[in-house]
Chains A and B, each alone.
Chain A
Amino acid sequence: MIEAFFNIDIMKAAWPIVLTGLWNTILLSLIVVPLGLLGGLILALLASIKHPLVRWPLMAWVDFFRAFPPLVLLVLLFAGLPFAGLELGGFACVAIAFFLNTGSYYGEIFRAGIDSVPAGQVEAARSTGLTRMQATRYVVLPQAVRNVMPDLLSNTLEVVKLTSLGSVVAVPELLYEARQAQSITYNPTPIVMAAVIYFLLLWPLVRLLSRLENRALAGRR
């Protein structure tokens, strides 16, 4: 058992490869999380426009990308776009797929946050002469983000986990590199290493999330 899953020699040999994968996972996360947040914010702000010409396409957009499996979306972009003469590479495909998929999720979270801010807040801001944009930026959004912080964090956890999908389109992230190391060494130890690293990477976030959720519960009491 120890030979197969926790082989020290294999660990030593595989470490540089796995480490490369870790850095790429972190890099990928640092790209797709802000991208998703940005996309979500844009969607949420557009959602405050009640005009049917904005509302219906927006709803269709969000519904579509939330219902569409992100892996299918990713493969479709990676395998399909070259036929449209667009050769983007794995990394860019992951970025676009995540922008579309996780942006829709972040968007719904931001929207719930914005809805949770009482209308009186905007009225007070507007009554002092702030524009709609200024009221949104200085009064509504800070409160909205604070109100949905646990959901934002929870979604971010999912997004980081989902970066392992990049392995399917040959993005050299953690899972992909671990599998490379596994196929070179004929030993599953590198996969175990990847699993442990994923856990160590995400566990602090999980703890933070629990604390935020407990605090939110306490605040509601």
Chain B
Amino acid sequence: MATNHIVDARAIHKHFGTLHVLKGVDLKVDERELVFIIGPSGSGKSTLLRCLNRLEEPSSGSIVVDGIDMLNPKTDINHARRRIGMVFQSFNLYPHMTALGNVTLALRKVAGKGRAEAEALGRAALERVGLAERADHTPGQLSGGQQQRVAIARSIALEPRVMLFDEPTSALDPELVGSVLEVMRGLRESGMTMIVVSHEMGFARNAADRVVFMDDGLIVEQGPPAAIFETPSHERTRAFIGQIQRH
């Protein structure tokens, strides 16, 4: 299947038991594009994100990422996932390892790098998120913002083609959000393709190429940030934007 999109998801359905969480979602993302997904909780936006690297198994549909058919049983999913970085709301750093250990684990065990090379790459990744001097700290010794930046370093060290962010700043104290957004902005400027589930409207407004509004398992509308935020065409979008802007 020829496609110019780095992410091409079609007709994604996801059922959890009797719950129909995704009801036929199409999402195409261009290379170097930053797509923001917004929507009320339970709208399926996180589930959609988690389907893209198959942390969640879609019930039906097709997903092609960087030319790899993610749902083909013959696809080496572990190999494919190396190209798709993921950052979680709760950071999910390995608490028994140092920051550097967190970053180098997959470099060594998945990418097959030797210790010295993995550590050099790991330190470079930590440098990119501004935490080179914290390499030997454990997650417990780091602030939430620093932990999330280590988590970003853990992903970018593998040189992914796409990065998925699942509410990366929702668990952070307000004064720590800025440092994480700063790192994300740097990634964007370096040309990384990013799909971000988040309600950081200010960031979406000046960094996103496109905002996707989801509700009840479907994409209601999408477009440039200005269009979605200033002149949404659907009532549900308007209501949602109004609600979050009041906060």
- The answer to whether B93 touches A124, judged by C-beta atoms less than 8 angstroms apart, is yes
* A-B pairs with beta carbons under 8 A, tally: 66
- The answer to whether A128 touches B155, judged by C-beta atoms less than 8 angstroms apart, is yes
8 Å CB interface, A127-182 against B: 127-131, 134, 138-139, 142-143, 146
CA distance A138 to B110 in the complex (A): 12
> What DSSP secondary structure best describes chain A's contact surface?
helix
The interface residues of chain A lying within 8 Å CB-to-CB of B92 are 118, 120-121, 123-124
- The answer to whether A128 touches B82, judged by C-beta atoms less than 8 angstroms apart, is yes
- The answer to whether A128 touches B55, judged by C-beta atoms less than 8 angstroms apart, is no
Contact of B110 among A120, A123, A124, A128 (CB under 8 A): A128
- The answer to whether A130 touches B105, judged by C-beta atoms less than 8 angstroms apart, is yes
Contact of B96 among A127, A128, A134, A142 (CB under 8 A): A142
Chain A, interface size: which category?
10 to 19
Decide if A55 is an interface residue (CB 8 Å cutoff): no
Decide if B63 is an interface residue (CB 8 Å cutoff): no
Decide if A215 is an interface residue (CB 8 Å cutoff): no
Decide if A211 is an interface residue (CB 8 Å cutoff): no
Known: A120-B92, A121-B92. A127 touches B84 (CB 8 A): yes
The interface residues of chain B lying within 8 Å CB-to-CB of A130 are 78, 105-106, 109-110
Known: A120-B90, A130-B110. A138 touches B55 (CB 8 A): no
Report the nearest A residue to B56, measured CB to CB.
Answer: A123
Decide if B6 is an interface residue (CB 8 Å cutoff): no
The interface residues of chain B lying within 8 Å CB-to-CB of A127 are 53, 55, 81, 84-86, 155
Decide if B123 is an interface residue (CB 8 Å cutoff): no
Report the nearest B residue to A120, measured CB to CB.
Answer: B92
Known: A127-B81, A128-B155, A130-B106. A143 touches B90 (CB 8 A): no
Known: A129-B82, A143-B96. A123 touches B106 (CB 8 A): no
Report the nearest B residue to A145, measured CB to CB.
Answer: B96
- The answer to whether A121 touches B106, judged by C-beta atoms less than 8 angstroms apart, is no
Known: A120-B92, A146-B96. A131 touches B78 (CB 8 A): yes
- The answer to whether B110 touches A129, judged by C-beta atoms less than 8 angstroms apart, is yes
- The answer to whether A138 touches B84, judged by C-beta atoms less than 8 angstroms apart, is no
CA distance A138 to B109 in the complex (A): 9
Contact of A129 among B79, B88, B95 (CB under 8 A): B79
The interface residues of chain A lying within 8 Å CB-to-CB of B82 are 128-129
CA distance A92 to B96 in the complex (A): 38
Decide if B154 is an interface residue (CB 8 Å cutoff): yes
CA distance A126 to B78 in the complex (A): 7
Decide if B158 is an interface residue (CB 8 Å cutoff): yes
Decide if B203 is an interface residue (CB 8 Å cutoff): no
Interface residues as binary, A110-121 with B (CB distance below 8 Å gives 1, 0 otherwise): 000000001011
The interface residues of chain B lying within 8 Å CB-to-CB of A126 are 55, 78, 81
- The answer to whether A123 touches B88, judged by C-beta atoms less than 8 angstroms apart, is yes
The 7 listed contacts between A and B (C-beta, < 8 Å) are A123-B88, A124-B86, A128-B155, A130-B105, A138-B109, A143-B96, A146-B96
A residues apposed to B, CB below 8 Å:
118, 120-121, 123-131, 134, 138-139, 142-143, 146
